[in-house]
């Protein structure tokens, strides 16, 4: 039986209107519980944060990042904040060395050409490229804004590791795994692209022509909810989606990539914070701010990326969807996890934690320990 992992929970709920009852103060208490000096003391610490894009202001607030940075310093660590392309213009959204209290670096250099190769044993993916500043770090503190994601169901710690800590080319290669599952029969499709029945039927605008001559039908599976309307509308039976296979291969690729990233850190020198705040249906790579579609929950802290994502999914699963806040392009379903109800039933967000546990990255069994100025309460989950 897998070891139970402590996951500390700083709830947004307050009993009294006092500073110590606010969730940022509780996060500091949680950081005290994990023995931060043992994790980061005397080490160069990569603080991985998604710094947003364009006018996206739904990411982890710079003030919240600084609180963690200051705790790392007090624990004897030497922190620097990292992100990929967003590090270059993060200042537009408030992420600067002055506001964060430490340097801000692109994970793989300004052109994302700085990385280390790691072999991967997965059909269609024989290696991944771990970003150089990640591998060069001696400890990791990963801050993840939890949200929905069209390719993984949820973006949390595992997505931040298995995609966000790779080079641009490697991120693309993991996403391209979905294309290894054939779904379009070019011989059956009309030549010269005169028919656009599938494109007209798609409520998500997820289908378009691609390739060097714009002669290949491409489905953006991040946007696709696998509603089947494209298949039904095709007059030549040229589309046959394989939802479970297409969704599952991405989870496997992301888990293998996460395993490669985590192999670059000595055991006991990684920490994860999941911010279940302003939870949106879509990825933070979008250059705009979206409304939250569930109520704020709080912040989780753990040394295990699998346990913290499992706990995040479980807590979100208890929430009601704010349907009037869901963009009109989505059709909200009646069953499944809140992410499945918006992104499509086939996009089971738990698949990523199952795949990661199979690879030994962490454990799905955890104890949820709510931190507060009062004695903590423990809830067991398996």
Q: 264-276: per-residue pLDDT in tens?
A: 999 999 999 999 9
Q: How confident is the model at residue 288, as a pLDDT?
A: 94
Query: What CATH number corresponds to the domain at position 305?
Result: 3.40.50
Assess whether 318 and 169 both reside in one domain. Answer: yes
Asked if 76 and 216 sit in the same domain, the reply is no
What is the band of 382 on the pLDDT scale with cuts at 50, 70, 90?
low
pLDDT at site 178 = 86
Clarify whether residues 268 and 137 are in a common domain: yes
Cα separation, 231 vs 210, whole angstroms:
19
Cα separation, 206 vs 19, whole angstroms: 46
- Residue 11 to residues 7, 280, 290, Cα–Cα distance (Å): 12, 18, 22
User: Residues 135, 268: one domain?
Assistant: yes
Same domain, 66 and 197: no
Closest CA relative to residue 230, chosen from 200, 210, 208, 192: 200
Query: CA nearest 262: which of 154, 346, 373, 165?
Result: 165
Pairing of strands 298-302, 5-11: antiparallel
For residue 256, name the pLDDT band (cuts at 50, 70, 90).
very high
pLDDT single digits (tens) 161-184? 999 999 999 999 999 898 889 999
CA atoms of 342 and 291, how far apart (whole Å) = 14
Domain identity same for 29 and 161 = yes
Q: Find, among 271, 254, 347, the residue nearest to 307 by Cα.
A: 271
What residues make up the domain containing 277? 5-176+249-381
For residue 222, report the phi and psi dihedrals to the nearest 5 degrees: -65, -40
Number of domains in the chain: 2
pLDDT in tens, 274-318: 999 999 999 999 999 999 999 999 999 999 999 999 999 999 999
- Indicate whether 228 pLDDT > 70: yes
Residues 343 and 220 in one domain: no
Statement to judge: residues 164 and 41 lie in one domain:
yes
Cross-strand partners of 293 = none
Determine the Cα–Cα distance for residues 55 and 286; give it in Å rounded to an integer.
Answer: 9
Write down the pLDDT at residue 86: 84
For residue 378, the model assigns a pLDDT of 60
Asked if residue 191 and residue 325 are part of one domain, the reply reads no
Residue 2 has pLDDT above 60, yes or no: no
Q: Say yes or no: 377 and 299 in one domain.
A: yes
Confidence class for position 132, pLDDT limits 50, 70, 90: very high
Q: For residue range 59-114, what is the model confidence (pLDDT) as tens digits?
A: 999 999 999 999 999 999 999 999 998 899 999 999 999 999 999 999 999 999 99
Same domain, 253 and 294: yes
Average pLDDT on 16-33 reads 96
Query: In this structure, what CATH number is given to the domain that contains residue 194?
Result: 3.30.70.20
Residue that is last in its domain, among 225, 241, 257:
241
pLDDT band at 54 (very low <50, low <70, confident <90, very high): very high
Contact of 333 with 340, CB cutoff 8 Å: yes
Residue 3 clears pLDDT 70, i.e. is over it: no
C-beta atoms surrounding 58 within 10 Å: 21
Q: Return mean pLDDT, the chain.
A: 94
Residues 219 and 300 in one domain: no
As given in the structure block, the two tokens for residue 351 are 């698949």
pLDDT at 376 over 80: no
Pick from 220, 241, 262: which residue ends a domain?
241
For the whole model, what pTM was predicted?
0.93
Is 1 a residue whose pLDDT tops 50?
Answer: no
Domain final residue pick, 223, 241, 259 = 241
On the question of pLDDT at 148 being above 60, the answer is yes
CA dihedral (229, 233, 237, 238) in degrees, to 10, reads -70
Per-residue pLDDT of 309-361, as tens digits, reads 999 999 999 999 999 999 998 999 999 999 999 999 999 999 999 999 999 99
- Mean pLDDT for 227-247 is 92
């Amino acid at each position: 039986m897998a070891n139970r992992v402590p996951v500390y929970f700083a709830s947004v709920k307050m009993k009294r209107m006092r500073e110590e009852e606010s969730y940022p103060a509780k996060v500091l208490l949680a950081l005290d519980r994990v023995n931060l000096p043992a994790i980061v003391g005397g080490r160069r610490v990569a603080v991985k944060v998604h710094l947003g894009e364009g006018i996206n202001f739904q990411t982890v607030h710079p003030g919240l990042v600084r609180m963690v940075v200051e705790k790392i310093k007090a624990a004897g660590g030497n922190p620097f904040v990292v992100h990929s392309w967003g590090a270059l213009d993060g200042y537009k959204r408030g992420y600067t060395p002055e506001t964060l209290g430490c340097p801000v670096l692109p994970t793989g250099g300004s052109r994302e050409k700085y990385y280390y190769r790691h072999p991967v044993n997965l059909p269609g993916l024989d290696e991944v490229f771990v970003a150089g500043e990640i591998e060069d770090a001696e400890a990791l503190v990963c801050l993840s804004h939890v949200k929905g994601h069209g390719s993984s169901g949820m973006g949390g710690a595992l997505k931040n590791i298995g995609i966000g800590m790779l080079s641009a080319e490697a991120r693309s290669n993991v996403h391209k795994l979905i294309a290894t599952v054939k779904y379009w029969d070019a011989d059956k499709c009309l030549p010269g692209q005169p028919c656009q029945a599938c494109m007209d039927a798609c409520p998500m605008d997820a289908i378009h022509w691609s390739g060097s001559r714009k002669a290949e039908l491409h489905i953006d599976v991040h946007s696709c909810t696998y509603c089947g309307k494209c298949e039904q509308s095709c007059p030549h039976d040229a589309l046959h989606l394989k939802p479970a296979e297409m969704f599952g291969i991405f989870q496997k690729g992301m888990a293998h990539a996460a395993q490669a990233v985590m192999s670059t850190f000595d055991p006991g020198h990684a920490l994860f914070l999941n911010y279940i705040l302003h939870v949106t249906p879509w990825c933070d790579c979008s250059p705009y701010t979206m409304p939250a579609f569930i109520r704020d929950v709080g912040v989780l802290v753990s040394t295990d990326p699998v346990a913290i994502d499992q706990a995040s999914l479980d807590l979100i699963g208890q929430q009601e969807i704010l349907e009037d806040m869901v963009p009109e392009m989505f059709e909200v379903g009646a069953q499944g996890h809140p992410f499945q109800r918006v992104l499509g039933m086939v996009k089971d967000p738990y698949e990523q934690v199952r795949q990661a546990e199979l690879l030994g990255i962490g454990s799905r069994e955890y104890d949820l320990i709510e931190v507060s100025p009062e004695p903590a309460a423990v809830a067991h989950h398996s």
